């Protein structure tokens, strides 16, 4: 970072430059956009310094020069410069999702045309009401996205406070109930889906893996001798094209001890996988490429219907089943978090809560038994 007598210029991981300066109240105010050269960044600082001096002198024309950008413009810049926790560019699928949020829910709304400092909490509440309560999960994710954008604007010193203050609005709630399968139901589902994807069912349930992690597995990720599955990447699809990359967070990179049942199924499955350490465990119609996630999901849904499972059943419910059983077996929050690859304990606490509910249910059943039994008094 290069400091001058007024403000500073910082080189970003993207190679662009950010200019900012400290305000009179000790907060940082950043330029509404980043710059391709240091000279452009310094020129912005020089203009800001002149504008501040004019404002202090009472010049009316200075007011417009220090206004923050419009929400839609700032959000577009935010997406362009956003990095993950490792300082790397966003995954293509994540970037596409954010761009979709911007196009459909920010730029097209009256909110998007307002400058950051014009947006009030009531504006946010009105915008949130129009997001469509019939899709609660998507609604929560869009709100959380916009809240994060405003959080960055606060950190940049462009506004004093985040207007997104709706309690719980950013917490995604599943639109369909999660189906927790039993051990027998998992085995029946694996049989119903057939040998092509049976191993995927076991990996989802008993190694608690995400669908993108399962479909990205290669032969070298399976260590049968030590009964370990190495999770090193995931796959996403952009316009139907598979894109491999590391998990979203470092927590997603993990080594999973596989139960004997999973090892046995994997051993049988590997006999049908092409030789070579980079051979995919699950292949689609295109050689060397995994099946599209929709193709895989449809196969699982058809198998679920044959097993008599609800139409709302999804592959990720297997992960819930495995983690819930681990919680019932006494796994700690930290153990559940590590096993699932969660970056925070929040989701692990969900399974601990499910275990507590189960404990209360068992206690209630015990109460019923005790109430119907004459307990002999001690002598």
Residue 147 within any structural domain of the chain: yes
Tell me the C-alpha distance between 198 and 195, whole Å: 5
pLDDT at residue 378, rounded to an integer: 42
Residue 83 within any structural domain of the chain: yes
Same domain, 58 and 125: no
Tell me the C-alpha distance between 113 and 149, whole Å: 15
Tell me the C-alpha distance between 252 and 369, whole Å: 44
pLDDT at residue 355, rounded to an integer: 52
Same domain, 121 and 267: no
- Pair of tokens at residue 172: 């995604």
Query: What average pLDDT values come out for the chain (379 residues) when binned by 10 residues?
Result: 69 83 72 83 84 67 64 91 75 88 93 93 94 84 95 86 91 71 93 96 94 95 94 86 82 90 95 93 88 93 95 91 82 80 66 54 56 49
pLDDT at residue 61, rounded to an integer: 52
Tell me the C-alpha distance between 209 and 231, whole Å: 9
Across 240-357, the runs of DSSP E, i.e. the strands, are: 241-245, 254-257
Same domain, 44 and 105: no
Closest CA to 322 of 221, 223, 214, 196: 214
The enclosing domain of 246 has a CATH number of: 1.10.443.10
Same domain, 328 and 192: yes
Same domain, 149 and 192: no
Same domain, 199 and 323: yes
Read off the DSSP letter of residue 108.
Answer: T
Same domain, 189 and 327: yes
Residue 161 within any structural domain of the chain: no
Residues 6+ apart with CB under 8 A from 226: none
241: Cα within 13 Å, side-chain hemisphere: 5
Tell me the C-alpha distance between 125 and 120, whole Å: 9
pLDDT at residue 85, rounded to an integer: 66
Same domain, 50 and 77: no
Same domain, 252 and 130: no
Kindly report the pTM of this predicted structure: 0.67
Boundary-marking domain end, from 49, 66, 83: 66
Residues annotated as catalytic are: 210, 248, 316, 319, 342, 351
Same domain, 62 and 95: no
pLDDT at residue 174, rounded to an integer: 62
Structural domain containing residue 237 = 183-358
Residues 6+ apart with CB under 8 A from 139: 128, 131, 132, 133, 169
Same domain, 206 and 266: yes
Same domain, 273 and 287: yes
Residue 245 within any structural domain of the chain: yes
């Amino acid at each position: 970072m290069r400091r001058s007598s007024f403000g500073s210029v910082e080189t970003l991981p993207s190679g662009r430059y950010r200019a900012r300066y400290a305000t009179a109240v000790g907060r940082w105010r950043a330029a509404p956009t980043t710059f391709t050269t240091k000279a452009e960044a310094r020129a912005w600082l020089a203009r800001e310094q002149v504008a501040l001096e004019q404002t202090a002198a009472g010049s009316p024309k200075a007011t417009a020069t220090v206004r923050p950008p419009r929400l839609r413009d700032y959000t577009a810049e935010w997406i362009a410069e956003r990095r993950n926790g490792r300082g790397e560019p966003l995954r293509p699928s994540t970037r596409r999702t954010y761009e979709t949020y911007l196009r459909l829910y920010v730029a097209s709304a009256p909110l998007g045309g307002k400058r950051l400092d014009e947006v009030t909490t009531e504006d946010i509440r009105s915008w949130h009401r129009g997001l469509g309560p019939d899709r609660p999960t998507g609604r929560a994710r869009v709100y959380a996205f916009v809240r994060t954008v405003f959080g960055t604007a606060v950190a940049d010193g462009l506004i004093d406070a985040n207007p997104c203050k709706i309690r719980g609005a950013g917490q995604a709630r599943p639109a369909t109930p999660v189906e927790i399968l039993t051990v027998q139901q998992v085995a029946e589902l694996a049989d119903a889906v057939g040998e092509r994807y049976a191993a995927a069912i076991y990996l989802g349930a008993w190694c608690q893996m995400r669908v993108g992690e399962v479909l990205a597995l290669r032969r070298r990720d399976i260590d049968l001798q030590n009964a370990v599955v190495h999770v090193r990447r995931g796959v996403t699809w952009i316009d139907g094209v598979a894109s491999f990359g590391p998990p979203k967070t470092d927590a997603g990179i993990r080594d999973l001890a596989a139960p004997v049942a999973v090892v046995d199924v994997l051993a049988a499955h590997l006999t049908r996988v092409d030789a070579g350490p980079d051979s995919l465990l699950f292949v689609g119609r295109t050689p060397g490429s995994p099946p599209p996630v929709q193709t895989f999901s449809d196969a699982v849904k058809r198998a679920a219907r044959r097993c008599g499972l609800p139409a709302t059943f999804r592959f990720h419910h297997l992960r819930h089943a495995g983690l819930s059983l681990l919680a019932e077996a006494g796994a700690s929050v930290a153990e559940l978090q590590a096993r699932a690859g969660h970056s925070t304990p929040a989701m692990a606490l969900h399974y601990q809560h499910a275990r507590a509910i189960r404990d209360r249910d068992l206690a209630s059943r015990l109460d019923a038994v005790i109430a119907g039994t004459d307990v002999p008094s001690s002598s």
